[in-house]
A and B are shown apart, each in its own frame.
Chain A
């Protein structure tokens, strides 16, 4: 019986011809399928365990960072995190009206700024918004220095009514719950006992019941005050006089609702009723004017429209910037010509990568052919020469090119000496695109030669002989018979070289000057110098997408089956 699929069939005793009814059974009567699965499970688990370390490594060092990069390119929570009140208040502002926003927006901004300044967040927000509109960074920096003085007069007025108002204890009595007071006392005791080096955070502030409703502004601001104090200074409201803006909030609460003190049910009720008198002596605080006094740009259109445009948590802004576009309240606009760089850079990166790939094919093909066809011993020597660059530091090789290619360098000297080039008109071979192409072709050449070689090695010489015996000239035999069979090698080498060069950084940085740099150099600049990581992430994402699209195109046109990395 030669039928390979015929396993043991307990129920058939008539020989191989009749089919068993139902599923195929293993010798012990269980289903053959489950028995097969059982026998394979061990192997599968073993295989999984073998790849697991690599899988985990790749997840941690590759997949997750790429995911983070993609996320960072759209993430924009800094605005809504730093300016929560302003973002909400600004929602109703109509940018197209051209008017500055209302007092409420400025009031919200003042509160957000006080918190941000205390937390030192305002500068990073300034830098973020500065990517979109220049000048905002200094505006925020400046305001940060002055915004804590807003409402100073009101604080003084409260103090005048009763000096108790500048006592931290008054505020604690007014707002804190018994629980908190107790917890705080215990914490203070522990701090006392431990002395220097005590690093336990004070207990988070708790309001006592019913105190927040009558004084909504004050309690909200006081909550922020307590929170910032706790995380920034590891202190509590029991030891610190509140910010001016808390007093201002209290003034506004009292002014807005004179019945608030009577609604308040607590020890400081009398103090509050007494403080009501302040509404007679002090007028409301003019936030807009205060900001204008810091810098009149605070009333300008740019600032508020930028904040409004970039208030959502996710933004296409970085991607738009990557393609020389800009998000404005009026929609997407092309940036001014003098600020357009990324389109040119992307195009240049692609074109130069193509040129490098092409030069690699041109230079690598004959070498690979020699390698594949020379006797073993000679081929090995040649192979070492091909691999030699691999064993030299990339930086050293690139620097060597700098020495060779510069105007007073070896190559120019040689050309002048040979009389091919006039001494006065030495060739500019470096710090431009020529330099990048020359150096990168040299560096990436092995990546072209190796796949080509391994493919050519598999083409038996008898094909060429056959072609010649059939009447083909050397050239025809090469072009019609040999070359088509080496195309998979060219494909593999080209993909390798192109993808490597499109993301290359060090070499263009060193020999590229300004005209010969790639998009990756710009990405590196944003990562390490301008610290605009969002834009760097967006540029990187576009680069990644470009490579994938090209890979897909290649698959459609040439076919990925036509790629052979050897074997």
Chain B
């Protein structure tokens, strides 16, 4: 689960709770510690509390309980303008009545930085986002992507050590989003700044972050690097939320070391890796990634359980084939296979046998 704060953490949430109405907790007992220079993404469905956490860190919301620390000192009672945290908003929040240069000058002016220094910093920040020639424009004259670059430059121009980004790419089209994802991570790593990034887009979270905190129901469900998150989800919410996932429900028959045997509701028996199940008799949701499903028996472990499957639908997607199968009574079981020269294209209605490595099949909480 979420790791606890230690002395070296740069940003720390300690037992933080937040309630708006005094009845329901939006954030429940949040503990989070970030080292300096980390790019951390808060990922979760809307209403999961991720934006509230960001706003508490920025100072626009106060924590109902608990402490938020920045560089070791509590900041609960420090007003936002004294926290020195850069922030990028979803709607960019560029001041429409100021030019790009004036927008960038704003944080410097309120910090009483001299004119020549100011201009140097503005030029540097604009060059950083490759918008050097746009200083005289008004925000309304820029495209969405350009506005977001300026918003980024403005959040960085006063050289904050921590930058918060609240779904900054939400309003952009896919291609632009991908370009900017790459640029933002590059920039963050080059400047060595700590970034807390909020998004509901899991691809964005996986491609950009050092670590991802998956939020649901006011709690961090899992905090881990992207690969771990994808390959070893710790509970069924994370498994469902991150990437495509096949779920089979059943009961633990037996746990032996790092494998277990699960009897599915259909009566079939499969091998799995117990993750957050401990004893026989417990109900479980078994999670298997579509690309880890095998129907080539040669690649399966000796003695592994296999299941019968009926091909429902075969979709040609170019680089991969996506096959929808009926497995253990469920018709939405998906198998993804690489478009290799020797790959067989299955026809709907044909009966096959599938299986998987027990390591790829995780028995999670029900």
Contacts and interface: CB of A to CB of B under 8 A. Distances in A.
B89 A462 contact: yes
B87 A480 contact: no
B100 interface: no
Contacts of B80: 465, 468-469
Given A465-B58, A469-B86, A470-B107, 14 more contacts: A460-B93, A462-B91, A463-B95, A465-B80, A466-B89, A466-B95, A469-B80, A469-B155, A470-B86, A470-B110, A471-B158, A474-B79, A481-B95, A485-B95
Interface string A48-70: 00000000000000000000000
A465 B96 contact: no
Contacts of B107: 470-472
B106 A467 contact: yes
Interface of A: 460, 462-463, 465-474, 476-477, 480-481, 484-485
Given A470-B154, A471-B107, A471-B158, A465 B87 contact: yes
20 contacts: A460-B91, A462-B89, A465-B58, A465-B89, A465-B93, A466-B93, A468-B80, A468-B81, A469-B80, A469-B81, A469-B86, A469-B164, A470-B81, A470-B87, A470-B106, A470-B158, A471-B81, A472-B81, A476-B110, A485-B96
| 4 pairs of A and B residues whose beta carbons are closest in the complex | A466-B93, A470-B107, A469-B87, A462-B93
A566 B58 CA distance: 32
A463 B98 CA distance: 12
A476 B80 CA distance: 13
B111 interface: yes
Interface in B320-349: none
B270 interface: no
B170 to A, nearest CB: 13
B325 to A, nearest CB: 41
Nearest to A463: B93
B84 interface: yes
Interface in B57-72: 58-60
A476 to B, nearest CB: 6
A456 to B, nearest CB: 14
A481 B90 CA distance: 18
Contacts of A466: 87, 89, 93, 95
A309 B27 CA distance: 89
A514 to B, nearest CB: 46
Contacts of B79: 468, 474
- Most A Cβ at <10 Å: residue of B93, B97, B155, B158: B93
B93 A471 contact: no
- Most A Cβ at <10 Å: residue of B59, B84, B89, B110: B110
Contacts of A469: 58-59, 80-81, 83, 85-87, 155, 164
B106 A472 contact: yes
Interface in B239-290: none
Contacts of A470: 81, 86-87, 106-107, 110, 154-155, 158
Contacts of A460: 91, 93
Interface residues of B, number: 27
Interface of B: 58-60, 79-87, 89-91, 93, 95-97, 106-107, 110-111, 154-155, 158, 164
A473 B81 CA distance: 6
A280 B335 CA distance: 141
A250 B84 CA distance: 109
A468 B87 CA distance: 10
- Most B Cβ at <10 Å: residue of A474, A481, A485: A481
Nearest to A484: B97
Contact of B110 (A462, A472, A484): A472
A280 B24 CA distance: 124
- Most B Cβ at <10 Å: residue of A463, A468, A469, A481: A469
A480 B158 CA distance: 18
A490 to B, nearest CB: 13
A470 B150 CA distance: 14
Contacts of B83: 469
Contacts of B90: 462
A127 B80 CA distance: 75
A559 to B, nearest CB: 12
Nearest to A465: B60
Contacts of B89: 462, 465-466
- Most B Cβ at <10 Å: residue of A462, A467, A471, A476: A471
A469 B59 CA distance: 8
Contact of A480 (B85, B86, B106, B154): B106
A373 to B, nearest CB: 14
Contacts of A468: 59-60, 79-81
Contacts of A467: 95, 106
Contacts of A465: 58, 60, 80, 87, 89, 93
A28 B229 CA distance: 64
A481 B155 CA distance: 16
A471 B96 contact: no
Contacts of B91: 460, 462
Contacts of B164: 469
A468 B86 CA distance: 10
Contacts of A477: 81
Contacts of A473: 81, 110
B333 to A, nearest CB: 41
B81 A485 contact: no
B168 to A, nearest CB: 12
A194 to B, nearest CB: 81
B125 to A, nearest CB: 12
Contacts of B59: 468-469
A474 B164 CA distance: 20
Nearest to A480: B106
A479 to B, nearest CB: 11
A466 B93 CA distance: 6
A470 B106 CA distance: 8
A467 B93 CA distance: 9
- Most B Cβ at <10 Å: residue of A463, A468, A484: A468
A154 to B, nearest CB: 88
A469 B79 CA distance: 9
A462 B84 CA distance: 17
A469 B92 CA distance: 13
B22 to A, nearest CB: 15
A471 to B, nearest CB: 5
A463 B92 CA distance: 9
A459 to B, nearest CB: 9
Nearest to B112: A471
B85 A485 contact: no
Contacts of B95: 463, 466-467, 481, 485
A389 B107 CA distance: 43
Contacts of B96: 485
Nearest to B60: A465
A564 to B, nearest CB: 13
